[in-house]
Structure 1
Amino acid sequence: QALAALSEVLQRWGCEVARAADEAGARAALRAAPAQLWLFDYHLDRDDTGVALAQRLEPEFGAVPCLLLSADGGAQVRAAVHAAGRSLLAKPVKPLALKSVLDRLLAAAAAAR
């Protein structure tokens, strides 16, 4: 439900959204259409993390701005996201905070090109 709600918010803002339930789905979606930004939960199934997933996807799809979402506000999560050079946003996600972070990440990526 949370994924569907987040997708709906992003689509209302004019974003094209590809949803994936796992790494294979993410790879398939990225092969079908490259993404300007990745948005992952920090905690994934089978003790995986969004940080690790992004690191596995980068060799094939390039360095893409990536925002991690987490309801876990612990120091370990913050440190892992920071060490990976990623951005973190706490859940529940506030739409204005999400918009601000997405705009900042996309602007920084455009300036780096």
Structure 2
Amino acid sequence: MKLDITWADDCQGKKDYDGDIVAVSTRYWPSNHQKNGMCSAICDISMYDGFLDRNGESELLISKNFEGATFAQVAEQVEPWAQAQMDRIAAALRAEFNQDA
């Protein structure tokens, strides 16, 4: 995957070269959208080429489906799972970049 970000003008002659690399994206569906009558969500964690807000290149790292009777039941599953994945990603990045420190 090639980094696809560009320099952007900031103020007073400064420039930024910024982009997004990893993101969490979760879609929740209420019970009336499901045949089984359960509320559900899918949580994806993906790596991006620098821009989340356009159709650039991305790679799905992990995805998980969740179900519950209410939004609260789904959310209480999604949130700790997403945090655990963030912890894994952060640990992997720290290990890579701190290995020579």
Normalising by structure 1, we get a TM-score of 0.29
Q: As a proportion of its length, which structure holds more helix?
A: 1
TM-score (norm 2): 0.32
The structure having more radius of gyration, on CA atoms, is 2
Report which of the two has the higher share of strand: 2
